[in-house]
Amino acid sequence: MGLPAWATMPRMRSHAPRAALLLVATMPWLAQAQEPRTVYRCPGPPVLYTDAISAEEARSRNCRTIDGATVTVVQAPRRPAPAAASAPGAAPTARPAGETRIDPAAQRARDTDARRILQEELQREEQRLAEMRSEFNNGEPERRGDERNFARYQERVAEMRAAIQRKEADIAALKRELAKLAPS
């Protein structure tokens, strides 16, 4: 009779004592890291999420606790304060590169181009709307060969109606944009 399979396998050293020692050594750190902190959501023009206030202060500010939600904190990049602007009596500073003035003639040309582009787009959209309405045929478009089922036909009619409404909304938005541009 042969030996059992476990007896013929090479012996492995157990690493259990080392793992237990490592686990015990890190337990205080794990307990500290997993200690729940109460996070409050405080109302206001800038909504504030904080864990740095006491329960009494949170009640006085009408803050609510956030339960079971993970909170991610993202630090804003720090910007140095301009030294020249903060000094009293300092000379005015030069404008940043993004705030250069535009020549009035160039601005008029841009406005004219924008108006022309919007008017062309408006004409295309109005033409497409007229085509869609003629195809829609007052809610009774011609049935296609693949629409033997009346439900499919009704579904296509509903899609056409929704597409016409979206096109009308697009045209209204284009007209509002054109109205914002002052005529030249």
pLDDT in tens, 28-76: 555 555 566 788 888 877 777 787 888 888 888 888 888 766 666 677 7
Q: Where are the domains of the chain?
A: 34-71, 104-180
pLDDT value for 17: 53
The whole model's pTM is what?
0.44
Residue 112 corresponds to which amino acid?
T
Beta strand extents in 8-140 (DSSP E only): 39-42, 48-50, 64-66
Asked whether residue 163 carries a pLDDT value surpassing 70, the answer given is yes
User: What pLDDT is attached to residue 123?
Assistant: 95
**Nearest-10 Cα torsion for 176, 177, 178, 180:** 90
Decide: helix, strand or coil at residue 39. Answer: strand
pLDDT at 27: 56
Enter the tokens of residue 158: 């509903």
Does residue 162 carry a pLDDT above 90? yes
Given a contact cutoff of 8 angstroms between Cβ atoms, the answer to whether 8 and 21 are in contact is no
